[in-house]
């Protein structure tokens, strides 16, 4: 009604000006431009609202059994889904059904897959959206999309067999970030406020049952009102998989691939510490691509080993360093590998002088087991391995190169971690209270002492160092078997 009155008043005003003999063309042109602008904004809003509806349609459900490495998260999520499966039992026990479940974890760990599996597990309608779809510069659009999302979920739930629906919002930190951080306009806050209202409106006694599942890798950014009990009642940690989890994920992603008999799943799982499920899927795919390049009938173990380097470092580079640079890189990487094997037997997985990404060479370690806690002696071994490349260059050429810059940064970072963890001569400290000069001197002393120890180890095994370097120059890459064979061909190592 207000629009019609405004439009009529504007037309009447223009006619009145025309009667007075004024040139109304500029006014008409201005009115058309303003009208066109608002018409475009309104239609854009409607189109985006329609797009949200298109994005939140049912997808192919999967089973929890198809998700590897997340047994703890699956069990916790299944418990939260019981009120959708057994509403009468939960009511009988006096349990308040959960309104929201927040999946928290690094990218690629399977949060979206868990949400889809939850919908399949409960035979619920599945409606998915991304947090970025609700943020607009136009006031009220985001809040309207939130209302539409919950409205669509209730409609679909009422038509479903189980009268239940799961709403999944990915990248929740975009939509639910702490209020007051966007002072330029209040659209962000209005959208979040509407989400809070809709969550409060989820009634366990309703005929249709709604569960909101959110996913984020930045839980620290979320507004406290969003993650309090009664809204997102439960936070499920979706962490990086451990060794057994990586083995299971690897088996899942290689079901449809022809594997050679020499595949060692345990070796691959051990070498991929810190990999997410998405990275393991990429690893399997890259290994298959490498086998296809060679017209191989089956994917061999070496294809997976090379694929690991590709996922970590990137594709091989076409540019070729000069022969002098290649020789220096060979000595450098041999130094890393030799010290790593001396201080921690079985830790070297492979080494190469083939340029990948920004690296001219690379020595890849693989521990026997996943490790999350370290003693001072173990951290000192990491520093020695990091320093070994530059020290090996010093023995061979009498100087060092800029190739050790990242190694030195890593060594300094570990020495600082020794101090922060209360493992240094300073004892238990608060790192913020330690004077910068004192912190510097303590880290410097740790590095100087370990540098001397590393120098002595390399000096005692100098022939082995040069032997590894020569073979690396010839072969360009050495796997674990070739590396061990080289060590065994030399005299007994001095440890």
In a domain, 69, yes or no: yes
In a domain, 352, yes or no: yes
Contacts of 416 (CB under 8 A, 6+ apart): 431, 439, 443
Number of domains in the chain: 4
Domain end residue (candidates: 278, 313, 348): 313
Catalytic, 333? Answer: yes
In a domain, 106, yes or no: yes
Domain end residue (candidates: 313, 347, 368): 313
Same domain membership, residue 333 and residue 209: no
Count of Cβ atoms closer than 10 Å to residue 269 Cβ? 24
Of 153, 269, 270, the closest CA to residue 208 belongs to 153
The reported pLDDT for the residue numbered 411 is 95
The reported pLDDT for the residue numbered 410 is 94
CATH of the domain at 280: 1.10.8.60
In a domain, 104, yes or no: yes
Same domain membership, residue 292 and residue 407: no
To 5 degrees, how large is the angle CA 62–CA 63–CA 67? 95
CATH of the domain at 358: 1.20.58.760
Same domain membership, residue 332 and residue 279: no
Q: What are the start-end ranges of the H helices in 160-264?
A: 172-175, 187-200, 243-253
Dist. CA 170–CA 148, nearest whole Å: 17
Same domain membership, residue 110 and residue 170: yes
In a domain, 495, yes or no: no
Of 274, 252, 247, 305, the closest CA to residue 370 belongs to 274
Same domain membership, residue 193 and residue 142: yes
Please state, in angstroms and as integers, the Cα–Cα distance from residue 84 to each residue in 160, 163, 204, 243, following that order. Answer: 13, 9, 10, 33
In a domain, 318, yes or no: no
pLDDT values of the chain reduced to their tens digit, one per residue, 495 residues: 445 555 656 666 666 556 666 665 666 666 666 665 555 554 544 444 444 544 444 445 678 888 888 888 999 898 888 888 888 887 788 888 888 999 999 998 999 999 999 998 988 889 998 888 877 655 667 888 888 889 888 888 888 777 888 999 999 988 888 876 655 445 667 888 888 998 888 887 777 888 999 999 988 888 898 888 888 988 999 999 988 899 999 999 998 899 998 888 888 888 888 889 999 999 999 999 999 999 999 999 889 988 888 888 777 766 678 888 899 999 999 999 999 999 988 888 888 888 877 778 888 887 766 677 899 999 999 999 999 999 999 999 989 988 889 999 999 999 999 999 999 999 998 888 899 999 999 999 999 999 999 999 999 999 999 999 999 988 888 888 888 888 887 655 655
The reported pLDDT for the residue numbered 28 is 61
Same domain membership, residue 222 and residue 84: yes
The reported pLDDT for the residue numbered 412 is 95
In a domain, 40, yes or no: yes
Same domain membership, residue 255 and residue 300: yes
The reported pLDDT for the residue numbered 58 is 44
Domain end residue (candidates: 12, 27, 55): 55
Q: What range defines the domain where residue 463 resides?
A: 323-489
Same domain membership, residue 416 and residue 367: yes
Contacts of 23 (CB under 8 A, 6+ apart): none
Same domain membership, residue 70 and residue 153: yes
In a domain, 494, yes or no: no
The reported pLDDT for the residue numbered 47 is 45
The reported pLDDT for the residue numbered 116 is 92
Q: What is the DSSP letter of 362?
A: E
Half-sphere exposure (Cβ direction) of 265: Cα atoms closer than 13 Å: 14
Main-chain phi, psi angles of 230, to 5 degrees: 100, -15
Same domain membership, residue 414 and residue 287: no
* Catalytic residue (one of 173, 333, 380, 442): 333
Same domain membership, residue 229 and residue 256: no
Please state, in angstroms and as integers, the Cα–Cα distance from residue 45 to each residue in 40, 67, 377, following that order. Answer: 9, 37, 61
Same domain membership, residue 159 and residue 141: yes
């Amino acid at each position: 009604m207000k629009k019609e009155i405004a439009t009529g008043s504007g037309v009447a005003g223009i006619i009145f000006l025309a009667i007075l003999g004024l040139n109304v063309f500029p006014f008409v042109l201005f009115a058309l431009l303003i009208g066109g602008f608002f018409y475009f904004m309104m239609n854009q809003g409607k189109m985006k609202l329609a797009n949200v509806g298109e994005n939140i349609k049912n997808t192919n459900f999967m089973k929890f059994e198809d998700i590897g490495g997340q047994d703890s998260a699956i069990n916790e999520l299944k418990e939260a889904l019981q009120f959708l499966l057994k509403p009468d039992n939960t009511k009988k026990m006096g349990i308040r059904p959960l309104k929201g479940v927040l999946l928290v974890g690094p990218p690629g760990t399977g949060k979206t897959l868990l949400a889809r599996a939850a919908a399949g597990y409960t035979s619920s309608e599945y409606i998915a959206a991304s947090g970025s779809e609700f943020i607009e510069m136009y006031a009220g659009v985001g809040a309207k999309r939130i209302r539409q999302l919950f409205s669509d979920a209730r409609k679909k739930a009422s038509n479903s067999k189980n009268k239940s629906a799961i709403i999944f919002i990915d990248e929740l930190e975009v939509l639910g970030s702490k209020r007051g951080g966007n002072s330029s306009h209040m659209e962000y806050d209005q959208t979040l406020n509407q989400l809070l209202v809709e969550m409060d409106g989820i009634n366990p006694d309703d005929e249709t049952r709604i569960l909101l599942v959110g996913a984020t890798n930045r839980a620290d950014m979320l507004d406290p009102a969003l993650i309090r009990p009664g809204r997102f009642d439960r936070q499920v940690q979706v962490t990086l998989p451990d060794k057994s989890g990586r083995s299971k994920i690897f088996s899942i992603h290689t079901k449809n691939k022809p594997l050679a008999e020499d595949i060692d799943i345990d070796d691959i799982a051990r070498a991929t510490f810190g990999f997410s499920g998405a990275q393991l899927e990429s690893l399997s795919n890259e290994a298959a691509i490498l086998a296809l390049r060679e017209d191989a009938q089956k994917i061999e173990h070496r294809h997976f080993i090379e694929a690991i380097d590709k996922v970590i470092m990137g594709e091989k580079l076409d540019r070729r360093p000069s022969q002098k640079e290649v020789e220096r890189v060979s000595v450098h990487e041999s130094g890393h590998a030799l010290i790593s094997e001396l201080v921690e037997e079985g830790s070297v997985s492979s080494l190469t002088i083939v340029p990948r990404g920004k690296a001219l060479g690379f020595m890849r370690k693989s521990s026997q087991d996943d490790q999350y806690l370290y003693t001072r002696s173990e951290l000192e071994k990491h520093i020695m391995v990091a320093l070994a490349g530059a020290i090996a260059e010093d023995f061979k050429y009498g100087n060092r190169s800029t190739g050790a810059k990242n190694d030195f940064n890593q060594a300094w970072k570990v020495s600082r971690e020794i101090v922060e963890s209360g493992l240094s001569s300073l004892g238990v400290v608060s790192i913020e209270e330690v004077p910068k000069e004192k912190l510097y001197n303590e880290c410097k002393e740790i590095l100087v002492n370990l540098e001397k120890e590393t120098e002595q180890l390399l000096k005692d095994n100098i022939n082995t160092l040069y032997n590894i370097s020569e073979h690396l120059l010839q072969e360009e890459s050495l796997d674990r078997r070739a590396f061990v064979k080289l060590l065994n061909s030399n005299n007994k190592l001095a440890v």
